[in-house]
Structure 1
Amino acid sequence: MKNEIRILLADDHEVVRSGLARMLESNTDMHIVGEAASGEQAYQMYTELDPDIVIMDVSMPGIGGLEALRRILVRYSKAKVIMFSMHENVTLAVQSMSAGAAAYLSKSGDSDDMVKAIRQVMDGKNFLSSEMAQRIALQSVSGSEDPIQRLTVREFEVFRLLAEGYALEYIAETLNLGQKTVANYQTMLKQKLGFHSSVELVRLAIKYNVIKSH
């Protein structure tokens, strides 16, 4: 089909992927060309399939959605990526858009929003649900700034993996960094965010919805 929109889905939950695929393919001009279950797989499949749009979950095992987004954009600067998440989360929305995502949506949002986002992004525009845009505006007006939003994508990913309890060796390997570099990031994060122990780091990550409290 001449004007077909080729979409790559990346989410570690098969149920979410199949539900989304069904919903999107009910639009005659949308076609799912691939499904990835991790950030690494999403990056790999992007290079193989060259889709028009990637719809990617922020929180996936391994390198996670934000790091996968960063890697895709480093190599393919024109890539159109829509990030989505379980959370109506201002922090993740700001981090995603700062990292170069074209849109950010919550999984709990209106399913029409996803179709609307795809069409806007294909037109070269960005998309945020009206509720999320309002939350971001309210937060900046009230001055209750979330310190996590000031982190770079790299700092955020190191922070997330540390909060998930991974060792420095694993983080270094996952993000293709030297262990010394990861240790430097850890020191920098302590200074920026003011935590002094692993427990404080985890509390901070839960408070700002970076990880879920188990």
Structure 2
Amino acid sequence: MAKKIRVMLVDDHAVVRVGFRMLLSASADIEVMAEADSGELAYQQYPEHQPDVVIMDLSMPGMGGIETVRRLLARDREARVLVLSAHEDTAHPKRVLKAGALGYLSKRTAPEELIEAVRAIAAGRIYLDADIARKLATQDLASPSGTVEALSEREFAVFIQLARAQSVNRIAEILNLSPNTIGSHLYNIKQKLGAGNQAELTLIAVRNGLIEA
């Protein structure tokens, strides 16, 4: 019998994990062998389980999906991560892939596509939601000033937390940075995006489909 693909599910909603577990377990070649309800817990448990594929929700409380991907890849360069998101913008998938994930799927994709993505990523291949791949292919990939594309990777991580109304001290705790460093990033973010306060940053994030209103 061929070896099964061992999967870790990471999502802060238990009912979502149950649904994915049922879907994936129906496939003879996939086994869900671990679950976590946060990026922090996934990072802690990863060495113990050593899954073939990590399926991770992007928008979780705490350090969130992109930062978790970055830390998992820093810990294990061979980690294979598939990110799931309700967002269908192009900023998120580009950040996710740059952080080291091999795949990005919209949560609206057909169930059979998730299984196909898991198999592809377990084999070391990149897998993107077809609509998102098309948007990325046709988009101007330059980083114009005044848009979120102008932000560095760390600035983008701070920006998302700020848009979620997190305090500077809380963001420092989540990202393992000093409050002074977060303050510097905040200044640069406001300059690049032309925002005067946190409310304007939140509005920019909503307009770009990066967070829900």
Match of 2:30 in 1: 30
| Matched letter for residue 49 of structure 1 | H
The question of 1:73 aligning with 2:73 is answered yes
1:45 partner amino acid: Q
Q: Which runs of 5+ in 1 are unaligned?
A: none
Give the unaligned 5+ runs of structure 2.
none
How far apart, in 1, do the equivalents of 2:185 and 2:139 lie?
27
Deviations 1:186-212 (A, max 9, x none): 111112222111221111011112211
TM-score by length of 1: 0.93
- Whether the 8 Å CA contact 1:155–1:185 is kept in 2: the answer is yes
Shift of 1:28: 1.0
Amino acid at match of 1:194: G
Q: Structure 2: how far apart are the matches of 1:190 and 1:34? A: 40
SS at match of 2:115: helix
Change (3 A) 1:71 1:24: same
What is the alpha-carbon distance in structure 2 between the residues aligned to residue 43 and residue 185 of structure 1? 25
Question: Conserved in 2, the CA contact under 8 Å of 1:6 and 1:31?
Answer: yes
Give the letter aligned to residue 129 of structure 1: D
State the distance in 2 between where 1:108 and 1:86 align: 7
* Distance change (3 Å), C-alpha of 1:30 and 1:150: farther
C-alpha contact (below 8 Å) 2:146/2:193 kept by paired residues: no
What SS does the corresponding residue of 1:82 show, helix, strand or coil? strand
Cα distance change, pair 108–201 in 1 and its aligned pair in 2 (3 A)? same
The corresponding residue for 2:191 is: 191
Counterpart Cα distance in 1 of 2:32 and 2:85? 19
Aligned CA distance change for structure 1 residues 159 and 52 (closer, same or farther; 3 Å): same
Q: Map Cα deviations across residues 4-59 of structure 1 (whole Å, 9 max, x no partner).
A: 11100001111111111100111111111111111101111212211111000110
User: 1:153 matched to which residue of 2?
Assistant: 153
- Segment drifting more, 194-203 vs 21-30: 194-203
CA-CA distance at 1:144 after TM superposition? 9.2
TM-score, normalised with respect to structure 2: 0.93
Query: How far 1:127 moved relative to its partner?
Result: 0.7
Question: SS at the partner of 1:140?
Answer: coil
- State the partner residue of 2:57: 57
Please provide the CA RMSD for this pair. 2.0
- Residue in structure 2 matched with residue 11 of structure 1 by the alignment: 11
Q: Distance in 1 between matches of 2:131 and 2:181?
A: 38
Is the 1:67–1:153 contact (alpha carbons within 8 Å) kept by the matching residues of 2?
no
